[in-house]
Amino acid sequence: MSKTVYLTTPLTEEAVRGLELDDVVYLSGEAYTMMYPQHFTRITGMVKAGRPLPMELSGRAIYNTGTIFRRRTDGSYDFRAIGATTSSKFNAYTPEFLRLTGVRAVIGKGGMDRATLEAMEACGCVYLAVVGGCSAIYTPSVEIEGEYWPQPSWADNQLKLRLDRFGPLFVAMDAKGNSTYEASAGAARARLPEIYRKLGIE
């Protein structure tokens, strides 16, 4: 039976490994946006080179997301909306990133691949799925605290977020090697012969 859990970063490995598929999580604390491949490659490159990072990632969450905001003249943020992007775009980068940084949670939509699931199991990390299309529910629980490596378009900047009971988030890939997405795909494949038969497809 699923449970509702309130967690705050930095997350411990014990807390993350205690989560199970379909648990509902409300997350507080630090999180960092990861919207483009270069966000991953820049950080992994710095870690491999032994260069210090401008943020603390161990025990924190990353969020595959885009944001709508503008910077006011006084340096504060007029923050309007946040919404998840499809996490599978980052399948190629996430496993190594998790192993190098100690990130404990990935927030996004759509799920990720088997290699990422295996990295999550090895490192003690979970995938927390948002409800797509519900930015109005999630945005009030987020504040922007800072930016890294400014780009010509502010929307491309990597952001530090402060979450306050951000949710509901659903454990869709746990740290035990289980994935809601794999289970759903398996169930669908099992029904294909029956569907093909009813449609008269050989």
Cβ contacts of residue 44 below 8 Å, gap of 6+?
A: 93, 96, 97, 100, 101
Q: Contact, 110 vs 131, CB < 8 A?
A: no
Q: Could you say which of 23, 35, 39, 125 is catalytic?
A: 39
| Cβ count near 84 (within 10 Å) | 22
Structure tokens at 2: 């699923």
Q: Would strands 24-33 and 61-63 be described as parallel, antiparallel, or unpaired? A: parallel
Cα Rg of the chain (Å, integer): 18
Q: Is 39 a catalytic residue?
A: yes
- Closest-CA residue to 90 (of 68, 113, 67): 113
CA distance 124 to 165: 21
- What is the H or E stretch that residue 4 is in? strand 4-8
CA distance 12 to 150: 31
Q: Contact, 144 vs 77, CB < 8 A?
A: yes
**Phi, psi (degrees; rounded to nearest 5) at 176:** -110, 5
| Active site amino acids | 39
